[in-house]
Amino acid sequence: MATTTPDTGVRGAPSGTGAGGTAETAPMTHRQIMEALSGLLLGMFVAILSSTIVSNALPQIITDLGGGQSAYTWVVTAALLAMTATTPLWGKLADLFSKKLLVQIALIVYVAGSIVAGLSQSTGMLIACRVVQGIGVGGLTALSQIILAAMISPRERGRYSGYLGATFAVATVGGPLLGGVITDTDWLGWRWCFYVGVPFAIIALLVLQKTLKLPVVKREVKVDWSGAFFISAAVSLLLVWVTFAGDKYDWMSWQTAAMVGGSVLLGAVFVLVESRASEPIIPLRLFRNRTITLASLASLFVGVAMFAGTVFFSQYFQLARNESPTMSGVLTIPMIAGLFVSSTVSGLIITKTGRWKAWLVSGGALATAGLGLLGTMRYDTPYWHLALYMAVLGLGLGMMMQNLVLCTQNQVAPSDLGAASSVVTFFRSLGGAVGVSALGAVMAHRVTDYVRDGLAELGPKAAGAMGQGGGSGAIPDMDALPAPIRTVMESAYGHGVADVFLYSAPFALIAFLVTLFIKEVALKSHGDSASKAESGKEKAAV
């Protein structure tokens, strides 16, 4: 049923080091692995960058294109929706077709979406291009984990997962910084937020063509397109509901009942289809493994915390502390540093010891503490306090993100590697997408309440200014407001964003509690290229 194309090892390495090779060949050297990963890391960096680089540029983008608050939300949500919905499909395709070809296709899709997004003349066109970008990003985030696992044994994978996590962290949190610099530079402008990643993606494409050579397992199977449709439809309907609930209609309304009920129904149909498919997008049998189930659940809640930090910090610094787009990115450096350090260091130590659970548990505790501390901040909180809180959150997230994928990959046979890896990534993206939409709605509501209360304290004349800034849902121009009202608005946004972090803390706490029940299995020393018989024993032993 399956055959492996011979003599296709990584350049400079024995041919059997990739997935599907033989167990007898010598392992790849660190240099050979880094050469093979260089293009992959670069491609993933620019793809993830595209998800966050627009956050500081969005006010200017929406103003130039004549959009409203709904368009503002959808420019962010459309990319997250497409990334979340397509991740399981990319993962399953990786189990059936050439991983190298798939990651190149994902890069091409990303480049095409980025170029046209930069040429957008309307918000509708931009949102459509963001969907295309999201499809490419979904492929790159899923395939990067899968290709890493195809080349490196679980025991050694911790070290390189740290590099992957650090790249993901810097791109996720550094995007707003770069976007702010580009937006503040007169001779560039916001359109370069979409163009800037294109040349790097093309370079990544060329590097991958030269350095990444994985054996191709040829299998004559059918892609489960029905499963792909139903999971995409279920996730899309859920995210549409979360995006508009509390804005276009009440959380408790017939629209909510219809959309949530429809999403649950589509999810049930998906489960039915998957139970009967010969090659399901998400093999349901994977969830018989407690580690995979718990890791997926933890990833769902980690996603809420991770994306909340990257999206709402820019609003806090710009609106509550009156910083420029560039400075609002610079001020988040403590979180970037925490993510980078914990991802890299934990990966190196895990490689030496083979033990990973202590990092997961510690990461959950730190992420919960960081979010709880950030929930106490206000518009005038000393920055060194904020820097400490952000660093704690960054350290926690860095310990959890990649290690949840790592412990999952350690549980499955090579034939399920793509599907299992993408399941964890899917739940993390789903948590992030739902979290950003729901917490954004909560923040808007809380800010309105705080503005109303603050203006009421100033007296009837100040309360009359409510229609100009606080109650319309529009983002106010702080420089145009009188000093007392401006202080009220800054205080309202500072308190509103703090509430977002405070409401995120319980999700991180749930992720922490879930990791306590994950049973630690020492990382295997053999690669995924080991024999199927041995892989089957590992799977059955769990």
Q: What is the pLDDT of residues 256-288, one digit of tens each?
A: 899 999 999 998 998 898 888 877 777 788 888
Mean of the per-residue pLDDT values of the chain: 78
CA 462 vs. chain centroid, Å, equals 42
Which of 58-72, 225-239, 313-327, 424-438 is predicted with the least confidence, judged by mean pLDDT? 58-72
Structure tokens at 134: 């999201």
Q: What is the pLDDT of residues 471-514, one digit of tens each?
A: 445 566 677 777 788 888 889 989 999 999 999 999 999 999 99
pTM: 0.75
Pick the more confident residue, 407 or 154: 407
Q: Of the spans 91-95, 311-315, 319-323, which averages the highest pLDDT? A: 319-323
Q: How far is CA 201 from CA 140, 145, 160, in A?
A: 11, 18, 21
Residue 227, pLDDT score? 81
- Residue 218's φ and ψ, nearest 5 degrees, are -85, 120
Count the alpha carbons within 13 Å of 258 in the hemisphere toward its beta carbon.
7
Element (H, E) at 218: strand 217-219
Residue 456 identity (one-letter amino acid): A
- Residue 126's φ and ψ, nearest 5 degrees, are -65, -45
Coil vs helix vs strand at 249: strand
**Helix boundaries (H) for 191-250:** 192-195, 198-211, 225-244
Residue 69, pLDDT score? 56
Q: What is the pLDDT of residues 101-147, one digit of tens each?
A: 888 899 999 889 989 988 888 888 998 998 898 899 888 877 887 88
Q: Which residues contact 314 (CB under 8 A, 6 or more apart)?
A: 55, 56, 176, 180, 325, 328, 329, 332
pLDDT greater than 70 at residue 363: yes
Residue 488, pLDDT score? 87
Return the DSSP state at 219: E
Residues facing residue 217 across a β-bridge: 4
pLDDT greater than 80 at residue 414: no
pLDDT greater than 70 at residue 210: yes
478-486 long-range contacts (CB < 8 A, ≥24 apart) are 478/319, 478/322, 484/458, 485/455, 485/458
Q: What angle do CA 413, 416, 420 make, to 5 degrees?
A: 110
Structure tokens at 296: 């997926």
User: Would you state the torsion angle of the CA atoms of residues 470, 473, 474, 476, taken in this order, to the nearest 10 degrees?
Assistant: 20
CA distance 217 to 224: 18
Pick the more confident residue, 337 or 305: 337
Coil vs helix vs strand at 120: coil
Nearest of 509, 297, 299 to residue 400 by alpha carbon: 299
CA 108 vs. chain centroid, Å, equals 20
**Mean pLDDT of the region 403-408:** 83
CA distance 2 to 5: 10
CA distance 96 to 314: 41
Structure tokens at 474: 């529009």
Which of 64-78, 177-191, 273-287 is predicted with the least confidence, judged by mean pLDDT? 64-78
Return the DSSP state at 55: T
Return the DSSP state at 140: H
Q: Which residues contact 74 (CB under 8 A, 6 or more apart)?
A: 123, 127, 243
Residue 101, pLDDT score? 87
Nearest of 459, 139, 174 to residue 335 by alpha carbon: 174
Structure tokens at 376: 């106490």
pLDDT greater than 70 at residue 469: no
Instruction: Tell me the CA end-to-end span of the chain in Å, nearest whole number.
Output: 26
